[in-house]
Amino acid sequence: MLVSGAGTNLQAILDSEIESLRVVISDVPDATALQRAAQAGIPTEVVPFTSTRSAFTDQICESAARHGAEALVLAGFMRVLAPEAIKRYPHRILNIHPSLLPAFPGVDAVSQALSYGVTVTGVTVHFVDEKVDHGPIIAQRAVPVLPGDDEESLHARIQKVEHDLYPRVVAAFLRGDVFVENGKVVLR
Ligand code: GRF
């Protein structure tokens, strides 16, 4: 798994029945996610972004390969991988995003939803392609925006849904029940 921050989605996956996590890699050395992984007995690695996106991506892929990972699961990973990663793991990189894509891509999805005044936003799990927060959509869930919501309250409601949805999708993917056929996602 690739992480950069709090790692609550990682925790949800650790708490689920998924047992095939090979390594948790972070670009941020003091990410809480690393402590969660260590506590669960999962190997951790820190790969800081130092020079170029391509060199960084190479290091991430090498680290994943060293640990025998055959797919990458992004959860709050704040870097964009170079196209080399997508070629190396075709339709084998998953990401979770706190909106109903293609609405509100980017780091400020929750505040965008609030400033647009939408009454429904949500969660998207998708395969990663060359563009940011883009690629074949695997699963989505709607989350209501309630009167009086601020970024914190709305993100908390969204995260509750993330923590239920992501472990289910990752487990299905690992069972071979999520794949792309003729450009469309099949979810069994
Ligand atoms: C989540 O809301 C996820 O959708 C977004 O970043 C956040 C990560 O949270 N990509 P956490 O680190 O899993 O707690």
Q: Where are the domains of the chain?
A: 1-89, 96-188
Q: Do domains 1-89 and 96-188 have the same CATH topology?
A: yes
Which residue from 28, 34, 162, 170 has its CB within 8 A of the most atoms of ligand 1, so it is best to mutate?
162
pLDDT at site 12: 98
Q: How far is CA 40 from CA 14, 16, 80, in A?
A: 7, 12, 27
What is the DSSP secondary structure assignment for residue 149, as one 8-state letter? -
- 67 given a catalytic annotation: no
Strands laid side by side in the 24-26 sheet: 44-46, 24-26, 2-3, 72-74, 93-97, 120-127, 137-144
What would the two tokens of residue 63 be? Answer: 């680290």
Q: What is the pLDDT of residues 132-169, one digit of tens each?
A: 999 999 999 999 999 999 999 999 999 999 999 999 99
Question: Beta strands 44-46 and 24-26: pairing type?
Answer: parallel
pLDDT at site 70: 95
pTM, to two decimals: 0.97
pLDDT at site 183: 83
Alpha carbon of 12 to ligand 1 centroid (Å):
11
Alpha carbon of 9 to ligand 1 centroid (Å):
6
Written as one letter, the residue type at 50 is T
Annotate 114-147 with b (16+ C-beta within 10 A) or e (fewer).
Answer: beeebeebbbbbbbbeeeebbbebbbeeebebee
Nearest C-alpha neighbor of 41 from the set 66, 26, 22: 22
CATH superfamily of 1-89: Formyl transferase, N-terminal domain (3.40.50.170)
pLDDT at site 151: 98
| Nearest residue by C-alpha to atom 10 in ligand 1 | 76
Flag residues of the chain having pLDDT under 70: none
Which residue from 9, 124, 140 has its CB within 8 A of the most atoms of ligand 1, so it is best to mutate?
9
Alpha carbon of 79 to ligand 1 centroid (Å):
13
CA distance 5 to 11: 12
Q: What is the pLDDT of residues 157-167, one digit of tens each?
A: 999 999 999 99
What residues are in contact with ligand 1 under a 6 Å CB criterion? 5-10, 33, 75-76, 96-98, 159, 162
Which residue from 8, 101, 126 has its CB within 8 A of the most atoms of ligand 1, so it is best to mutate?
8
Alpha carbon of 76 to ligand 1 centroid (Å):
4
CATH class given for the domain over 96-188: alpha beta
CA distance 45 to 121: 34
